[in-house]
Amino acid sequence: MEIRERLSLNMRRLRQSKGWSQEEFAHQAGLHRTYVSDLERGARNPTITVVDKLAVALGVPVGALLDEQHSAAS
């Protein structure tokens, strides 16, 4: 799986587990609404500083967003 797709899936899962909308999440991370939307769709290739912001906002290490997560799903 490509890294952009991994990020996409991980950030959506973690965001939803916080009960945040994309807009709320974008605000928390100090990013733009539409950009977070793009990232969740795997349509962008962010820099590591952006990923760091996301990770900090979610309270997880950066690896939790970029590494493949072994979810319960088949």
Partner DNA sequence: GTGTGACTAAGAGTCCGTG
Partner DNA sequence: GCACGGACTCTTAGTCACA
The interface region with a second copy, picked from 13-21, 23-31, 65-73 by CB under 8 A, is 65-73
Compute the C-alpha angle 13/14/16, nearest 5°. Answer: 70
Question: Residue 50, interface with DNA (CB under 7 A)?
Answer: yes
Say if residue 64 is exposed, middle or buried (CB neighbours under 10 Å; 0-12, 13-18, 19+): middle
Nearer to a second copy, 11 or 26 (CB): 11
Whether 14 contacts 64, CB under 8 Å: yes
Decide which of a second copy, DNA, none touches 40; Cβ closer than 5 to 8 Å per partner kind. DNA
Residues engaged in binding DNA (CB under 7 A)? 21-23, 30-35, 37-38, 40-41, 43-47, 49-50
